[in-house]
A and B are shown apart, each in its own frame.
Chain A
Amino acid sequence: MSRPLLVVENLRVSLDAGKTQVRAVDGVSFSIDPHETFALLGESGCGKSMTALSLMRLLPEAGHIESGRISLDGQDLLGLPEIAMRSVRGKRIAMIFQEPMTSLNPVMTIGQQIAETLHRHTDLRGEAAQRRVLELLDAVGIPAPQARYHDYPFQFSGGMKQRVMIAIALACEPDLLIADEPTTALDVTIQAQVLELLRRLQRERGMAVMLISHDLAVVSEMAQRVAVMYAGEIVEMAGREEFFANPQHPYTRKLFASLPGAARRGQQLEIIRGSVPPLDQEFSGCRFAGRCDFAWQKCSDEVPAWSKVTSGHQVRCHLLESPEHAACEAVATLSSPVVRPEVRADQPLLEVTDLKVHFPIHKGLFKRVAGHVRAVDGVSLAIHSGRTLALVGESGCGKTTVGKSILQLIRPTVGSVRFAGDELTQLKGAALRARRADFQIVFQDPYSSLDPRMRVADIIEEGMVALGAAVSSVDRQNSMNSLLQQVGLSPDSKYRYPHEFSGGQRQRIAIARALAVKPQLIVCDEPTSALDVSVQAQILNLLKGLQDELGLAYLFITHNLAVVEYFAHEVAVMYLGRIVERGTVEEVMQSPRHPYTRALLSAVPVVEGDARREIIRLAGDLPSPANPPSGCHFHPRCPQAMAACRQNYPAVVGFSITHSASCYLYSEK
């Protein structure tokens, strides 16, 4: 076996946080071989990014490396003077970040930005440098590189920017590429493109890649070796096959069990109770002990050392030496599958017909209307009580706008929204306000959806007071207490402020707030996409429990298809303001008809997928809703586009009572 490219030994990084020291990375050791993809997997705040930044010696002001050794090809990086380190960065180790929007300089053309890197690290100048830049742009799949050389970052979409970032990172053919959540900010179809690109480049150039991700599926598609990080420490390390076939650490197993998916339909998802312990303490035992189902006395007394499962598979857990304690597993993981009653009233609770929302584009001095963004352009859907309709689609296709215009937060341009017999678009002022108790919304970002200046009690009370849900103050207090308990928070948390809660807890508060007025329908706008997998499982369980208990209907807006498979009854797939396919979950997920749905499904990374499925690659990005393509909106990207597709928008074709799609492929018959 070849000598490892990068060796990290016992790395400790601490951050100054006021009075205390946060040990963000606490004794991490690993090595990466040349040409290898090594994945660092973990939830938010476990120290992944800090590890990566200390490899580059780019820690933030407050952070410093306490001890440890990092050597690249035998060269000790921590001992290098800053000047020498600068030539390592970019040339030997390159890095790409999660947020492509903020990592490019907005006032330089992308050509200049790539050339700048070449300038710093190579002798290429002028013509030669420009040629190399074009090569790189071509290599990362930017169409017409010549033309785009002089474009500025704002002229590129998110996926394109991430490609440019990769081009910059590759400029000097680094030996090691660190990719810190490279696709988290991107849509699945774009994510598939970028992951494919990374794989190809790695194969062609033989670099080593260190991939940092919280997404098990992405890791499973990319990595050769996996390390799981928890609370500043690596707790399990194994080759990919071994890791996915035989995860050993209780934390890893929990992570797997908390993934939603079709296989877990109707069951409760596993959750990890509690939360990650604060890192400003000295640990005397296993860091996971407080949340582990197997923990016994030894776990809190003694820090577990590495134990070998097979060669190359190591775990930091006492369980390996004392297998007798694994016995309690059966009890711990047993979960009672809840069979949901398939209630279906004949009259849908919510019926949306031909909803359109057009935002005017103002131009010029007098704000003349120069056109419209057709954010929603003729959407029809229906939801029955106690059912969940999932609305899926890429970012910017108009999902959120549908949700908001159903709630009349944005007034629809045309169309009808009938809720339990009332036409909401006609209701105004007090009449609408009185009806608002029946439909509520839970937003994506639990950090901006709660007013930071109000206590939880005031937040929950606001809706009750405005809608007169509970009259007396005592009533309100009582129902507030029971609501908080219902969403799994203790009643005394109502005197605290939102910033004192974690993301998952805040989302519970937001759900409690919506429930406070006893709605029949809740629009959930990506309620879990800002949360970690294990927390997502808690929220999904909660929403599911509430539905069984109260018969709520959900309009569940998401781009996460695994969640849809697990959670929804019906699915509507949206593309550029219109619904292109709808049906029950089984119909749409198992036999997708519309080419876009198929592409979307194939692009989703899967954990189990050992045999590489065929990914239908979509060219390009979502077109602008201000001037959608003529004919079928999807035709510029559709692999099966025909002449007819460019002329007119295809009519809806039904496959069963519930299943239908808008595509010319099926309309001849």
Chain B
Amino acid sequence: MLFNPVFLWTDMLLWLLLVSVAFYIWRVRQREHLLQPWRRLLRSRSGVASAVVLLAFVAVGVFDSLHFRLPLEKQGNGAETHYSPEVLSVFDLMVGPLRKQVEKTYSAPFAVQLYTKETIELPGGKQVRDYPRLKYGGAHLREPVREQAGDIAVTALQGGVYAFFLCGGLTVALALWLARRRGISPGEAWTMIRHGRDEIPWRTLLTTIGLLILFGCLATVFSAKYHIFGTDKVGQDVFYLSLKSIRTGLMIGTLTTLVMLPFALLLGIMAGYFRGWVDDVIQYTYTTLSSIPGVLLIAAAVLILQVYMDNNQELFDTVAARADLRLLFLCVILGITSWTGLCRLLRGETLKVREMEFIQAATAFGVGHFRIIARHILPNVMHIVLISIVLDFSALVLAEAVLSYVGVGVDPSMQSWGNMINGARLEMAREPMVWWSLLAAFVFMFVLVLSANLFSDRVRDAFDPRVR
């Protein structure tokens, strides 16, 4: 076997989620009234732009969720293949050198030397204390002081040219495709795109994708030669860490919702539909739950899990599996503390919908409770679910950072923005300051959360019947 696939829990859940999203899309495509809000969403410029950015993040996260282990060197013929204990993902292969180019310790963005002085042995046997050259960053330069500026300019130009051709190709492809779909000439399609005359803001779409491509090309060409966000304490490339953290952020943001959704849906709708004692019990439950401070509950649960895992080391064959379980557990516990909000909303909406006359008409036909809930109530409260999922997403991503910072977040061995910030915390005090880990985590998180927020605003506009 070339490799040994590893199925982590969170991976499988993510794939399950993707399959259900695909199913949802397939359903929506058949139903005009479900399609309409999405059309509205596609017509807004900030909606399209933020969706593109989110999709880019999701793509990274998805590629980072295909895990496997590579075989170790064969001992001899016929011997059983042993696999490396290190779990890799497809994404790791795609950014190959980034993962492997590990320096000794801190180095600043675009630096060619380490950040600390060391004793270097010169060829002559003499020793000096100086900043040693990096093993990978800028290693191709002979005389960095003189050559670096020129090299950076040339590399940037190279990246720009790649990006230009990619964007150009994309634009032409889009114009041709539009021309075919709308039955107009490519020239007309181009003017339509350029002047924003179509319902869908193609211009914004192209600009956003163009910026992403430009950033991608520059990052690619530069990170082959430099550490664009520097390196951390053990010399790992910070840019690589930030990219790897995307998966963690996405997992927390989406799986938590997946975990809490069944609770919130079932309990919220039951409370609103059956009322009476069912409603009382559910209401008391969530009122009680939501008056316990969430952080306390999370801290307690995570610490218990930690103890359990420490006592049962043998259950996990790789570090990744261990970290993954902790991530999953964190999602579950976050889900349990956060279902109350949605549950309350759903209860209120169900109370309203169940009084609608079409529910009574169904009752008059003797349709059973379960069918009424599934066919009438659920579709009519679905917009609330959707709106709150996207609204919660960014809050959860931020919550992860805070929890990891406090020390009850994801496993320290797992790359996450919270862990990056946590690691950078100590270095902020040091002189000269190591600022780049913090900055990188901040920039990535900011872009993700900002686009998620923009997107959720547009989703709310498109789906909330009161906004129209």
Contact = CB atoms under 8 A, between A and B. Distances in A.
Interface of A: 404, 407, 409, 432-434, 436-437, 439-441, 443-445, 448-454, 462-463, 466-467, 497, 499, 510, 513, 517
A441 B368 CA distance: 17
Contact of A407 (B33, B356, B364, B376): B364
Contact of B366 (A432, A443, A444): A432
A450 B359 CA distance: 9
5 contacts: A433-B366, A441-B361, A450-B358, A452-B33, A499-B33
Given A451-B376, A497-B32, A443 B365 contact: no
A453 B380 contact: yes
B379 interface: yes
A604 B27 CA distance: 52
A409 B360 contact: yes
B17 interface: no
B194 interface: no
A448 B357 contact: yes
A600 B33 CA distance: 44
A449 B357 contact: yes
A409 B355 CA distance: 12
B430 to A, nearest CB: 57
B368 to A, nearest CB: 8
Nearest to A404: B360
B413 to A, nearest CB: 47
Nearest to A519: B364
Contacts of A499: 33
A403 to B, nearest CB: 10
Nearest to A447: B357
A451 B32 contact: no
A432 B366 CA distance: 8
A462 B365 contact: yes
A360 to B, nearest CB: 12
Interface in B345-387: 356-358, 360-368, 371, 375-376, 379-380
B362 to A, nearest CB: 6
Contacts of B357: 443-445, 448-449
Question: Which among B34, B364, B368 has the highest number of chain A CB atoms within 10 Å?
Answer: B364
Interface residues of B, number: 20
Contact of A441 (B33, B34, B364, B367): B364
A513 B367 CA distance: 14
Nearest to A19: B199
Contacts of A444: 357
Question: Which among B361, B362, B368 has the highest number of chain A CB atoms within 10 Å?
Answer: B361
Contact of A434 (B360, B366, B376): B366
Question: Which among B356, B363, B366, B376 has the highest number of chain A CB atoms within 10 Å?
Answer: B366
B361 A453 contact: no
A463 to B, nearest CB: 4
Given A433-B366, A451-B358, 20 more contacts: A404-B360, A409-B363, A437-B366, A441-B360, A444-B357, A448-B358, A449-B357, A449-B358, A450-B358, A451-B376, A451-B380, A453-B33, A453-B379, A453-B380, A454-B376, A462-B362, A466-B365, A466-B368, A467-B365, A497-B33
B172 to A, nearest CB: 28
Question: Which among B356, B363, B365, B379 has the highest number of chain A CB atoms within 10 Å?
Answer: B365
Contacts of A409: 360, 363-364
A462 B364 CA distance: 11
Contacts of A497: 32-33
A421 B375 CA distance: 34
A510 B364 CA distance: 13
Contacts of A443: 357, 360-361
Contacts of B367: 462-463, 466
Nearest to A442: B361
Contact of B361 (A432, A434, A437, A510): A510
Q: Which 4 pairs of residues, A with B, have the shortest CB-CB distance?
A: A433-B366, A463-B365, A449-B357, A453-B379
A448 B358 CA distance: 6
A133 B365 CA distance: 54
B359 to A, nearest CB: 8
A513 B361 contact: yes
Contacts of B380: 451-453
A295 B371 CA distance: 51
Contacts of B363: 409
Question: Which among B34, B357, B375 has the highest number of chain A CB atoms within 10 Å?
Answer: B357
A463 B364 CA distance: 9
A307 to B, nearest CB: 43
B365 A454 contact: no
B366 A448 contact: no
Question: Which among A404, A407, A462 has the highest number of chain B CB atoms within 10 Å?
Answer: A462
Contacts of B356: 448-449
Nearest to A435: B366
A399 B100 CA distance: 79
Question: Which among B34, B356, B380 has the highest number of chain A CB atoms within 10 Å?
Answer: B356
B278 to A, nearest CB: 14
A407 B360 CA distance: 10
A436 B33 contact: no
Contacts of B360: 404, 409, 441, 443
A462 B375 contact: yes
A513 B358 CA distance: 11
A466 B375 CA distance: 13
Contacts of A445: 357
Contacts of A453: 33-34, 376, 379-380
Contacts of A463: 365, 367
